[in-house]
Structure 1
Amino acid sequence: MEELGTPVLDDHLHLDPEHGRGLDAVRDFARLGGTHLLVVNKPSWLLGVEPDAGADFRPVFETTLDVVERASEILPGRAWPVLGVHPGLVSKLVDERGLSPEEAGDLMRAGLDEAAGFVRDGDALALKSGRPHYDVSEAVWEASNEVMRHAFSLGADLGCAVQLHTEAAEDLTEVAEWAEERGLPSHRVVKHYAGGTLAGPTPSVMSEKDRLETAAESGAPFLMETDFVDDPDRPGAVLGPKTVPRRVRWLLDEGHGEAVERAHVETPQRVYGIDTRATLSR
């Protein structure tokens, strides 16, 4: 097992022990020097869940809690669950099941309320929400924004971060302002799949060298992720579980030790309140 001399956190990936690589992906991550994971539940429809009420999301969340517990036994540090409702669900509910955008929004908010219960009980670290990254009708867009704003209200009540899946953007100041208006500090809003710079939320930067170089040189807080989807039908998507440790080594070799500290120690503490050093067991 490689030692990189620093905690190494992948801020956003999925694990599916039933259909995908599951814990083998965790072993690959740890073998290359990875120490900590934030594991986001897979979209409900990929686990065969067709929700009619908030409680119907529970099996999706419980699957994630179970794999996180087993991943933590493998890692030198630990894993944490991030639970929520994928914003793409709105299209499935409206286009495939015939719900109105408002009805779809109600169901998605109920799912977020269910996820919030796990955070409240100390079983999950953060929430996941957002809005579609593709073109949708005005009504669906507004319903999606209402769902996201509800996630911010929950995050404010719980004192937890909210990860967002959104369109590609370098400026999400308006979204960060919506969070602030609801009492959630904008730095606790995390844009997953971010580029190297972002106005508003904290960027969780896709671990490609050009994006990371930009983030490292910016001096601003950032996180690193792969968005590994653990889907056997898409084996290379998006980046593999070995990528973050490999990119950390590359950043260290390039003289970006301060940026590594920022991404894997300082920003996780600032955003999630987690101590990646204190949680290293070996």
Structure 2
Amino acid sequence: MEQLGTPVLDDHLHLDPTHGRGIDAVRDFARLGGTHLLVVNRPSWHFGIEVSEREDFRPVFEETIDVVAEATEELPGRAWPVLGVHPGLVSRLVDERDLSADEARDVMRSGLDLAAEYVRDGAALGLKSGRPHYEVADEVWEASNDVMRHAFDLGADLDCAVQLHTESTEDLTEVAEWAADAGMTPKKVVKHYAAGRLAGPTPSVMSEKDRIETAAERGDPFLMETDFVDDVDRPGAVLGPKTVPRRVRWMLEEGWDDAVETAHVETPRAVYGIDTRGTLER
């Protein structure tokens, strides 16, 4: 197993142990020098589940917790679950099942409430929420923002991070202000699939060289991710599980040791309260 002399964290990926590569993807990550993973639950509709109430989300979360335990067995560090509700669910509830925007909002809030129970019990590290990255009706947009604000209320109560799936942007200061109003520290709000710069939350930067170079040169806190979807029918949809360790090796070769420390040690500690050095095998 290749060692890079540093913790290597992929901040956001998905694993499908039934139909995808599952633990084989984790082994690829570890073989290239990866040490830690934050595994985000797949969207509920990927399970063929038509959610109507909070308990409908439970099998989604339970699968994620189970695969994280398996992943930890393969890693020199460990994996953690991040649980929540994909913001795209609102469109499925409104457009396909004819729920009102407010009814969809309530279903999604209930899923977050259940996810929060796992965080409270120590079974999950943080929450996942956000809003659609595509055009929606005004009432759907407002309902989505209400769901996200609910996630911030829960994050403040639990003192945990909230990962966001949002539109492509380099400015989410308003969203960070909503989190602060709820009582969260804005740095604990993480924009997944981020570019190399971002105003407001902490960026979880997609691990393409140009984005990473921008983040490294800026010197601000950031994380690195692949958003690996683990769908064998969409092998090129996003980045593969080997990408983050490969990018870390490239960063070290380019002399960006400080940026590696920022992305894989300092920012994970500040945002999630995790010790990526201390959880490495000795």
* Interval containing the TM-score (normalised by the shorter chain): over 0.9
Amino acid at match of 1:39: V
Query: Which residue of structure 2 lines up, in the alignment, with residue 220 of structure 1?
Result: 220
Partners in 2 of 1:50 and 1:240 — Cα distance? 29
Partners in 2 of 1:232 and 1:213 — Cα distance? 30
Partners in 1 of 2:90 and 2:202 — Cα distance? 25
1:59-78 alignment runs, 5 A limit: 59-78=59-78
Number of positions where the alignment pairs a residue of Structure 1 with one of Structure 2: 282
Helix, strand or coil at the partner of 1:260: helix
Amino acid at match of 1:54: R
1:216-255 alignment runs, 5 A limit: 216-255=216-255
Helix, strand or coil at the partner of 2:30: helix
After TM superposition, the structure 1 stretch with the greater mean CA deviation from structure 2, 216-225 or 44-53, is 44-53
Helix, strand or coil at the partner of 1:122: coil
1:19-30 alignment runs, 5 A limit: 19-30=19-30
Query: Which residue of structure 2 lines up, in the alignment, with residue 10 of structure 1?
Result: 10
Partners in 2 of 1:14 and 1:236 — Cα distance? 14
Amino acid at match of 2:140: V
1:137-216 alignment runs, 5 A limit: 137-216=137-216
Matched, 1:108 2:70: no
Helix, strand or coil at the partner of 1:11: strand
Query: Which residue of structure 2 lines up, in the alignment, with residue 256 of structure 1?
Result: 256
Query: Which residue of structure 2 lines up, in the alignment, with residue 45 of structure 1?
Result: 45
TM-score of the two chains, using structure 2 as the length reference: 1.00
TM-score of the two chains, using structure 1 as the length reference: 1.00
Helix, strand or coil at the partner of 2:145: helix
Matched, 1:55 2:62: no
1:237 Cα shift? 2.3
**Is the CA contact (8 Å cut-off) linking 1:8 and 1:35 kept in structure 2?**
yes
Helix, strand or coil at the partner of 2:108: helix
Amino acid at match of 1:107: V
**Is the CA contact (8 Å cut-off) linking 1:171 and 1:198 kept in structure 2?**
yes
1:232 Cα shift? 1.4
Amino acid at match of 1:264: H
After TM superposition, the structure 1 stretch with the greater mean CA deviation from structure 2, 19-28 or 48-57, is 48-57
1:117-136 alignment runs, 5 A limit: 117-136=117-136
1:49 Cα shift? 1.3
Q: For structure 1, which runs of at least 5 residues remain unmatched after alignment?
A: none
Amino acid at match of 1:259: A
Q: For structure 2, which runs of at least 5 residues remain unmatched after alignment?
A: none
Partners in 1 of 2:279 and 2:47 — Cα distance? 31
Partners in 2 of 1:236 and 1:58 — Cα distance? 29
Partners in 1 of 2:269 and 2:236 — Cα distance? 30
| RMSD, matched Cα | 0.5
> Runs of at least 4 residues of structure 1 off by over 3 A?
none
Partners in 1 of 2:158 and 2:49 — Cα distance? 26
Identity within the alignment, %: 78
Helix, strand or coil at the partner of 2:146: helix
Partners in 2 of 1:15 and 1:65 — Cα distance? 11
1:281 Cα shift? 1.3
Query: Which residue of structure 2 lines up, in the alignment, with residue 83 of structure 1?
Result: 83
Partners in 1 of 2:281 and 2:47 — Cα distance? 32
Amino acid at match of 2:101: P
Helix, strand or coil at the partner of 2:83: strand
